[in-house]
């Protein structure tokens, strides 16, 4: 069984009988455990390194106050640094633009992109009282288009009628036009996914972004992909430019390291998390909760 980092840090540091400032030596033993715990939580190596450096800077020389043990103090420093790097302010979807506001959904196939598109559409309908139109741009997989239409029926959100033979950009333009005529507030565009990052996929999504002037570009990523999440995030952000990340499968046994990695590498906020297969299994991102999960 995984022993939580908090316990490990306590057992290392609470043996210190001295009071006063933590020395580099005290801290180094603890940092080895921090490093190991982050790697076990699937945080990318480069992110682990910068995280550990930041914790070292904060911890060495810090006075241990009387009411806490050295272990508790370092746990708090690690926790606070995690929250800071995960993004302290809760950020949600920005609809502050002239309607219909285009939201582009990007990500790898199987990440949960289509399901998440419907979840967000439902949330905007139910909670923010917006009229949402969804459209699938996956011209190569008719099944993906049908899946979105089925989900739309399930959540009570309209989908753009499917017309065979159109390109992704043509469908996106048609969706925006239909939304304008129909008085919709938001248009959600579910781009095609591929099993791996490939140039054709990126080029198509970039083209759709330019053609629609998408206000939000949300990268949907699977929390269980661990270290790969960083490469995915870097590729999508570098090529297309994302405005936020939705992390799916946080109901699984992922420790949440992907959140830290993706945020650190791209600087883009995690806006929402998927917590199950059901259409309402979507939650706001709470950095404190993820920090606790990583700490164990
Ligand atoms: P896409 O290929 O990226 O569009 O992925 P789908 O939306 O088709 O999702 C793939 C599978 O993942 C489906 O079975 C979804 O129900 C499931 N899924 C999506 N999001 C979550 C989540 O947050 N948690 C869990 N457990 N399953 C999810």
Ligand 1 atom 19: residue of nearest CA: 112
User: Is 209 assigned to a binding site?
Assistant: no
Q: Collapsing DSSP states into helix, strand and coil, what is residue 155?
A: helix
pLDDT at 196: 84
CA gap 212, 7 in Å, rounded? 51
Ligand 1 atom showing the smallest separation from residue 119 Cα: 20
Buried b (16+ CB within 10 A) or exposed e, 91-128: eebeeeeeebbbbbbbbbeebbbbbbbbbbbbbbbeee
Residue 167, H or E segment: none
The pLDDT profile of the chain, 296 residues, written as one tens digit per residue, is: 346 778 888 888 877 666 678 888 888 988 998 998 898 888 999 999 999 999 999 998 888 877 788 888 888 999 999 999 999 777 889 999 999 999 999 999 999 999 999 999 999 999 999 999 999 999 999 999 999 999 999 999 999 999 999 999 999 999 999 999 999 999 999 999 888 888 998 999 999 999 999 999 999 999 988 778 889 999 999 999 999 999 999 998 777 889 999 999 999 999 999 999 999 999 999 999 889 888 87
pTM for this structure?
Answer: 0.93
Residue that the structure tokens 């076990």 belong to: 40
Ligand 1 atom showing the smallest separation from residue 273 Cα: 23
Distance 110 CA to ligand 1 centre (A): 6
Distance 278 CA to ligand 1 centre (A): 9
Strands 282-284 and 270-274: antiparallel
**Protein residues with CB under 6 Å of any ligand 1 atom:** 107, 109-115, 193, 248-249, 251-252, 274-277, 281
- The ipTM assigned to this model is 0.99
User: Is 251 assigned to a binding site?
Assistant: yes
Ligand 1 atom showing the smallest separation from residue 117 Cα: 7
CA gap 206, 21 in Å, rounded? 52
User: Is 92 assigned to a binding site?
Assistant: no
């Amino acid at each position: 069984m995984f022993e939580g980092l908090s316990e490990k840090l306590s057992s290392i540091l609470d043996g210190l009988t001295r009071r006063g400032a933590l020395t580099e030596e005290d801290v180094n033993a603890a940092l080895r455990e921090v490093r190991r715990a982050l790697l076990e939580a699937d945080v990318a190596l480069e992110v682990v390194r910068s995280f550990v450096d930041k914790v070292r800077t904060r911890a060495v020389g810090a006075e241990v106050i009387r009411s806490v043990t050295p272990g508790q103090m370092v746990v708090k420093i690690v926790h606070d640094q995690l929250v800071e790097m995960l993004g302290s302010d809760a950020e949600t979807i920005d609809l502050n633009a002239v309607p219909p506001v285009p939201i582009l959904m990007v990500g790898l196939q199987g990440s949960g992109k289509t399901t998440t598109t419907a979840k967000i559409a439902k949330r905007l309908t139910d909670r923010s009282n917006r009229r949402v139109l969804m459209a699938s741009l996956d011209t190569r997989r008719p099944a993906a288009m049908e899946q979105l239409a089925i989900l739309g029926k399930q959540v009570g959100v309209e989908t753009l009628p499917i017309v065979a033979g159109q390109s992704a950009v043509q469908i996106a333009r048609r969706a925006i036009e239909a939304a304008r005529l129909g008085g919709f507030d938001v248009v959600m565009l579910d781009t095609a996914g591929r099993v791996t990052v490939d140039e054709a996929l990126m080029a198509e999504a970039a083209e759709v972004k330019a053609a629609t002037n998408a206000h939000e570009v949300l990268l949907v990523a699977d929390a269980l992909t661990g270290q790969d999440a960083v490469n995915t995030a870097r590729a999508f952000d570098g090529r297309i430019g994302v405005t936020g990340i939705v992390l799916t499968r946080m109901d699984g046994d992922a420790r949440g390291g992907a959140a830290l990695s993706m945020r650190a590498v791209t600087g883009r906020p995690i806006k929402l998390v998927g917590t199950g297969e059901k259409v309402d299994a979507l939650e706001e991102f709470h950095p404190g909760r993820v920090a606790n999960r990583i700490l164990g």
